[in-house]
Amino acid sequence: MDNEQIRALLKKYNSGKCTEEEMLWIEKSFFEFNEQDIELSYKKLEGLKKQTYSHLPKPTTKFNGLRILISAATAAAIIAIAIYIFLPHTPNNTAASLNLAEHILAKGNVAQIKLSNGKTIQLDESKNEITINASSIAYADGTKIEIANDVLEQTISTPRGGEYQIVLSDGTKVWLNAATVLQYPTSFREQAKRSVRLVSGEAYFEVAKDKKHPFIVNTSGQTLTVLGTHFNIKAYQSEVKTTLLEGAVKINSASQSDSIRLKPGEQSLAVGNKFQKRNADIDLEMAWKNGRMKFRNATLQSMLPEVERWYNIQIEYEGKTPDIHLTGGISRKSSLATLLKLLQMSGVNFTLNERQGIKTLTIKS
């Protein structure tokens, strides 16, 4: 497979004209390549090109409905070479944008807790989890922060680019994604129901089992009730998306006019007072919790809000939004430049500028 064939296949993919086998091959190649957490550079890609071309098998693969025979490792190398092909012709303004993006990283373990008595606690960034007790907040290493007995409620929040884990007083574990706000009682004792509120953002729950005390998660658009299960709720905008991994859940709309039950592997979307149910792509939905940012056949407008939140940047569009669908994935520890190089390879034009401390990514038509 030569350079022109690679170009043609990628363009065919972005235009939606690939066969099913071609599409699966490209998507698998993207994920295989990006799982390696490789920081792209011209020097590395040039070396990779020299190494892989000498080891590539002679073209025995035909894409017209025949089974793809190229190995995943070779496919990953071909994708890397495709990136190499696109990058050498980088315009100066794009090169400057990539240079700036190299220094844009997520904040990591950043969060704060606001107590009901008005006190605010900035959590330790060198740690990633806290446990809530009746009279203290404890880190995994045993370090404790004492709290007053009159603190009945707490609110934990992460900024853009931040994440944290929390263990509630009943043993329920919650992973908080970037730009997330969760309210909960200091203790569930003497309460018939274990009720929390996901004010905004995204959180993954592993609920401690307690048949006598249902666990309830309230959001702006729905109320979810469980006894003990694993699920993810995404509530950044007016739509609330719930993905079930284990157990069973019942969800009621805020107006109580509609309800739905989910089984493992299913997902609900709350729009207004109605629910839609569909099968979930668990790997994609839980990528954020596992330290990855993944997208499959996604439009720019559907994937860039996550980029905006994680890298704490602003995104704007100049002219018509490019009508392309993208597949890929990077480590959430990677710089913004890693993602922008994938966009560049797919033919997306952009500039990245910083003014008065605000970084803005402009997508051009």
pLDDT at position 71: 44
Strand order in the sheet with 358-364: 314-318, 358-364, 349-355
d(CA 233, CA 245): 11
Mapped onto helix, strand or coil, the DSSP state of residue 230 is: strand
Q: Are strands 180-185 and 153-158 parallel, antiparallel or unpaired?
A: antiparallel
Domains and CATH numbers, the chain: 3-89 (no CATH), 93-105+291-364 (3.55.50.30), 108-284 (2.60.120.1440)
Assess contact for 229 and 249: CB atoms under 8 A: yes
pLDDT at position 67: 31
Give the Å distances, CA to CA, from 308 to 127, 142, 349, 358, 359.
24, 35, 17, 12, 10
Question: 315, exposed or middle or buried, with CB in 10 Å at 0-12, 13-18, 19+?
Answer: middle
Assess contact for 361 and 313: CB atoms under 8 A: yes
Mapped onto helix, strand or coil, the DSSP state of residue 5 is: helix
Query: 310: which residues sit within 8 A by CB, 6+ positions away?
Result: 106, 160, 161, 178, 293, 332
- pLDDT in single tens digits along all 365 residues of the chain: 555 666 677 667 656 677 767 766 665 565 555 544 444 444 455 555 555 455 444 444 443 332 333 344 444 555 555 554 444 445 567 889 999 999 999 999 999 999 999 999 999 999 999 999 989 999 999 999 999 988 999 999 999 999 999 999 999 999 999 999 999 999 999 899 999 999 999 999 999 999 999 999 999 889 999 988 999 999 998 789 999 999 999 999 888 889 999 999 999 998 888 899 999 999 999 999 999 999 888 999 999 999 999 999 999 999 998 888 888 888 899 999 989 988 887 888 999 999 999 999 999 98
d(CA 307, CA 311): 6
d(CA 311, CA 332): 9
pLDDT at position 161: 97
Beta bridge partners of 266: 279
pLDDT at position 321: 87
